[in-house]
Amino acid sequence: MSDVFNLDREQNLKARIDPTGRKWEVHSQRGSCLFHARPNPDREDAVIPALFYGEWTKPELLLEKIDLFLVRAWDDSDRKAAEARRTKEAAAENAEEAAKLAKLKAAVEAENAEIASKSEAKRIAVQTAKE
């Protein structure tokens, strides 16, 4: 998805680890020929994605679904990271522009104050000359 090679992504895809650090494994129940996927570390409240939820008869099919899920999860993670990076860069550019604008505004106000003081000095000089 992205132009940059991400070694962590490639290694984790091979090891079947998602962006949150959960390793997905295929398990079978004793005395059954059905297989299911569980994350490692496993918790009681673990959410199994709908893509490979349930019992499967062939572990190869389940592994393909897990791999598809992991590619999608890593793509989504990479997209969110790139978006966050762009947002951070835009905020830095906006702050830089705001600083330049504030500096320019201060310079204009200083110049206006100087012009006003010269104008006031001329007005006073003219007024004293008339008197």
- Crossing angle, helix 59-130 and helix 7-15, to 10 degrees? 150
- Rounded Cα gap, residues 58 and 64, in angstroms: 10
Which pair of tokens denotes residue 1? 């998805």
**Does 88 reside within a domain?**
yes
**Does 36 reside within a domain?**
yes
**Does 101 reside within a domain?**
yes
Contacts 24+ apart (CB under 8 A), 88-92: none
**Does 70 reside within a domain?**
yes
**Does 53 reside within a domain?**
yes
Which pair of tokens denotes residue 112? 């206006």
- The string of pLDDT tens digits covering residues 117-127 is 877 777 777 77
Number of domains in the chain: 1
- The string of pLDDT tens digits covering residues 62-80 is 999 999 999 999 999 999 9
The terminus-to-terminus CA distance of the chain in angstroms comes to: 83
**Contact status, residue 37 vs residue 26, Cβ threshold 8 Å:** yes
Model's pTM, two decimal places?
Answer: 0.64
DSSP conformational letter for 20: T
Range of the domain at 63: 7-130
- The string of pLDDT tens digits covering residues 7-29 is 888 999 999 999 988 999 999 88
What is the average pLDDT across 34-61?
Answer: 87
**Does 2 reside within a domain?**
no
**Does 46 reside within a domain?**
yes
**Contact status, residue 69 vs residue 52, Cβ threshold 8 Å:** yes
Whether residue 109 has pLDDT greater than 50: yes
**Does 1 reside within a domain?**
no
